[in-house]
Amino acid sequence: MEIDHKNIPKHIAVIMDGNGRWAKKIGKNRLFGHQNGVKAVRKLIEESARLNISYLTLFAFSTENWDRPKKEISTIMKLIVLVLKKELSTMMENNIKLETIGDLKKLPENVKSSLKETVNKTKKNNRLTLTIAINYGGKEDISNAFKLLLEKVKNNIISPKKIDELIINNHLYTRNLPDVDLLIRTSGEQRISNFLLWKIAYAELYFSNVLWPDFNEKCLHDAIISYQNRERRFGKTSEQIK
């Protein structure tokens, strides 16, 4: 089956899972798995731009990942800085804009400055918005929005009666992103793991058994073809949407 280029999901989100298991399978350490995960990230970004996907959101580091061994955390942080540095020219050539979601305050200074610099340099690009979720948790996103909103209520900037889905959305880290159309998770796990809770309300879920470093262009095509064969009803009946 071929991709239907007239029905490309606008927003794809990816939980890149299985780096550790991929490395273990070939007798290497977890860090080697993450290094190879980066190569798959690169392929995914370039293919997404080629397919005219407008929004690609990647889960690079969750609010829960701080519980991992220190060495692994510092490797992931180093890889993020390395990818940003190495991919800046690709992002400029392919007209890709970088955004971040998550609480950046807790990140090492060099990671913060590298993210800010890349966001700034790519801010005029408008073909693909690549959002990196880093120190991101879906529950934390929502509770942070609560904090911001309650502060406004306290200061009489917003009346509680006015609070609706749009206002809540506008206080999330993800406020500028459209709803997710397709959520992909690799490595056979079938969980959301606290990713993008608000924006996946009507996402199509796709679980692949491939471990993240092996995820290639063909795997992305398979996920999109699966998406294109689903009937998205958004609460309506099948007859209503035909």
Query: What is the b/e burial string over 64-97, where b = at least 16 CB atoms within 10 angstroms of the residue's CB?
Result: ebeeeeeebeebbbbbbbebbeebbeebeebebb
Residue 105 has which token pair? Answer: 């305050």
104 binds ligand FPP (CB under 6 A): no
State the Cα–Cα distance between residues 90 and 27, nearest whole angstrom: 32
Residue 12 has which token pair? Answer: 């794809």
38 binds ligand FPP (CB under 6 A): yes
Residue 20 has which token pair? Answer: 């550790």
Give me the least distance between CB of 117 and ligand FPP, in Å please: 14
With respect to ligand FPP, which residue has the nearer C-beta, 20 or 171?
20
Residue 162 neighbours by CB under 8 Å, 6+ apart: none
60 binds ligand FPP (CB under 6 A): yes
Give me the least distance between CB of 77 and ligand FPP, in Å please: 9
Q: By CB neighbour count within 10 A (0-12 exposed, 13-18 middle, 19+ buried), where does 186 fall?
A: buried
From the candidates 4, 7, 17, 120, give the one annotated as an active-site residue. Answer: 17
With respect to ligand FPP, which residue has the nearer C-beta, 24 or 175?
24
40 touches 16 (CB < 8 A): yes
Instruction: For residue 17, indicate whether it is catalytic.
Output: yes
Beta-bridged to residue 12, according to DSSP, are 56, 182
In the shown chain, the binding pattern of residues 116 to 155 toward ligand FPP, with x for contact by CB under 6 A and - for none, equals ----------------x-----------------------
Choose among 131, 97, 100: nearest CA to 113: 100
With respect to ligand FPP, which residue has the nearer C-beta, 214 or 225?
214
Of all residues in the shown chain, the one whose CB is closest to ligand FPP is: 20
Instruction: For residue 222, indicate whether it is catalytic.
Output: no
Residues at the interface with ligand FPP (CB under 6 A) = 16-21, 34, 37-38, 41, 58, 60, 65, 76, 79-80, 83, 132, 187, 212
Catalytic residues: 17, 65
